[in-house]
Structure 1
Amino acid sequence: MDVEALAAASRRRRTRERILTHVALILGVCLFALPIWITLIGSTHEVDTIGRGDVPLLPGAEAVHNYATAWFRGGGSRNTFQVPASTMLFNSLMMALLIAVGKIAISFLSAFAVVFFAFPGRMIFFWMIFITLMLPVEVRIIPTFQVMTDLSLIDTMTGLTLPLIASATATLLFRQFFLTIPDEYVEAAKMDGAGPLRFLKDVVLPLSVTNLAALFVILFIYGWNQYLWPLLMVTDRSLETVIVGLTKMIGNGDAQNEWNVIMATAVLALLPPVGVVVFMQRWFIKGLTETEK
């Protein structure tokens, strides 16, 4: 009887723990998902509904009109120049892709050189790269802006992306991964007569696929969410990114804001990063958790 009583008590305790765990998870999901749900639902109602301060929880009948308006015309204050969401999304997509691909390419090659090449001062160069992690963005942003001005790169996609391509964090992560590659691989490649580029292409790159995928997701979202640098670099509204554009859509008077179109644009701005995470979820998780190569 004592054994059965202990087993029953243990089952009840596990049941309570599972219930508490699920309650905590549900509360967490509601906390994070409720604002997104309100934005999604608000994008399907008329502007007057949102303007009155109503918070609808059920979809409305204006979804097609609101999203078409956001995509082709843009929204915000009626007294300001409106940029279509399609233009802003394209600019953000180009910026995020160029930053992610550029960061990965430069960091991958610099880490490869530091780990697999023996040249004077290689660790000095590595620590010079690493030290940049200690400099806040605010410290570097004024001199970087001055350099872009001197090079006449204001209001260009090059000026928008080039200063953000260098990444000390990605270089450090790639270096730590390359150090886990067995020396036998290097010796075998030398015995086969493989040069550095062939070793990079046939050995290092295939081993790094999951790490590349994980970093691509992180860096894509980093580039997509950029606000301060595009705000400083771009005065041409045709190059405006969606993150900056959303803030400019909100005018000084609440009554003049097309909140339904603004919310539709906000929902559209969520789709590309969510799509990247969902599409690359398997490689992303594997790249973050995989330890044995």
Structure 2
Amino acid sequence: MPKLRWSAIYNHSVLLIGVALMMGPVLLAFATSTHDRIVIHREGLQWSIGPNGVETYARAMFEGSGFTKTVNGVLMMTNSLVMGLGFAVGKIVVSILAAYAIVYFRFRLGVACFWLIFLTLLLPLEVRILPSYEVVQGLGLLNTYTGLIVPLIASATGTFFFRQFFKSVPDELLEAARIDGANWWRFLIDILIPLSRTMIAAIFIIMFVVGWNQYLWPTLMTTQEGYFTIVRGIRQIMQVWVESNIPAYEDAMALAILAMLPPVLVVVLFQRMFVKGLVETEK
């Protein structure tokens, strides 16, 4: 009989408690979404599975909602997907180019420029929201995908990670590329980007989740319901009162569950590349 290891029991107990704390609210939201709004309004959140699950999720996905009754879950998830992908891809492209210029062009103010970029971490979106809104409005980009994505694609975090990675690449690779006649563009495309694929995957996952979950910026940039993201749309549904002055609690809960699925799938599918990109030291 194997010897009982109290350390293993303790470690697994901590993990199980963490799982319960993380999954408990999700399971509660899912169970509540399967009940009628009258039951939820009268009795509160529900732990048991109700009879209206299929009907609720079908309505949340395909039935028009909001003030105009023209927006459904599919449209809002599409808007969130466009914003998440544009957010992630834009940040990766800008960060790679900025880090590449700082590391390899070796211009006089390169280090100063990097620290200026890095200091922007002290200025989150909430601090610069008013001037950012004024610029977007002046350019006529309100209620557009461009206005949702472009003002946010500069990333000090991504620039920092790619700079650190590029500095770990041996100088011999650059010298060999020069001997073979590769210019700066070929060196970036043919050598650095293939070497950076795990780092790109890690940054993509982080930025996609951040872009998908944006609430404040889409709230300011979009006044037309056709551009609402799913995170923005949940709030909109809760503002629309129906029947006997009862909000559509079950639809909001269903959309909350649906809003969790794409980020979870991205993390689960690419978790190995995510971990490898952040902790790998041998390049």
Task: Give 2:267's match in structure 1, choosing from 247, 252, 277.
Answer: 277
Confirm whether residue 234 of structure 1 aligns to residue 218 of structure 2: no
Aligned residues with identical type, % of pairs: 46
Confirm whether residue 246 of structure 1 aligns to residue 234 of structure 2: yes
Report the more deviating stretch, 48-57 or 174-183.
48-57
Runs of 4 or more, structure 1, over 6 Å off, are none
Unaligned runs of 5+ in 2: none
Matched residue type, 1:39: A
Residue number in structure 1 paired with 2:195? 207
Task: Give 1:56's match in structure 2, choosing from 43, 46, 50.
Answer: 46
Matched residue type, 1:163: P
For residues 165 and 136 of structure 1, the distance between their equivalents in structure 2, rounded to whole angstroms, comes to: 13
How far is 1:127 from its partner?
2.5
Residue number in structure 2 paired with 1:126? 114
Residue number in structure 2 paired with 1:7? none
For residues 209 and 261 of structure 2, the distance between their equivalents in structure 1, rounded to whole angstroms, comes to: 11
Task: Give 1:172's match in structure 2, choosing from 128, 145, 160.
Answer: 160
CA contact (8 A) 1:69 1:75 kept: no
Aligned residues: 279
CA contact (8 A) 1:70 1:84 kept: yes
For residues 138 and 45 of structure 2, the distance between their equivalents in structure 1, rounded to whole angstroms, comes to: 49
Task: Give 2:173's match in structure 1, choosing from 168, 181, 185.
Answer: 185
CA contact (8 A) 1:75 1:261 kept: no
CA contact (8 A) 1:210 1:284 kept: yes
How far is 1:75 from its partner?
5.3
Matched residue type, 1:101: V
TM-score, structure 1 normalization: 0.89
CA contact (8 A) 2:37 2:246 kept: no
CA contact (8 A) 2:38 2:246 kept: no
How far is 1:191 from its partner?
1.1
CA contact (8 A) 1:75 1:262 kept: no
Residue number in structure 2 paired with 1:159? 147
Residues 202-250 of structure 1 show CA distances to partners (whole Å, capped at 9, x for unaligned) of 2101110000000000000010111111111110111011111112222
| Residues 55/148 of structure 1: CA separation in 2 closer, same or farther (3 Å cut) | closer
Report the RMSD for the aligned CA atoms in angstroms: 1.9
How far is 1:135 from its partner?
1.8
Task: Give 2:247's match in structure 1, choosing from 257, 272, 275.
Answer: 257
Unaligned runs of 5+ in 1: 1-10
Residue number in structure 1 paired with 2:98? 110
Residue number in structure 1 paired with 2:75? 87
For residues 16 and 127 of structure 2, the distance between their equivalents in structure 1, rounded to whole angstroms, comes to: 41
Task: Indicate the structure (1 or 2) with the bigger Cα radius of gyration.
Answer: 1
Matched residue type, 2:34: T
Matched residue type, 2:195: L
Task: Give 2:11's match in structure 1, choosing from 15, 18, 21.
Answer: 21
Report the more deviating stretch, 112-121 or 102-111.
112-121
Matched residue type, 1:202: D
Report the more deviating stretch, 251-260 or 102-111.
251-260
TM-score, structure 2 normalization: 0.92
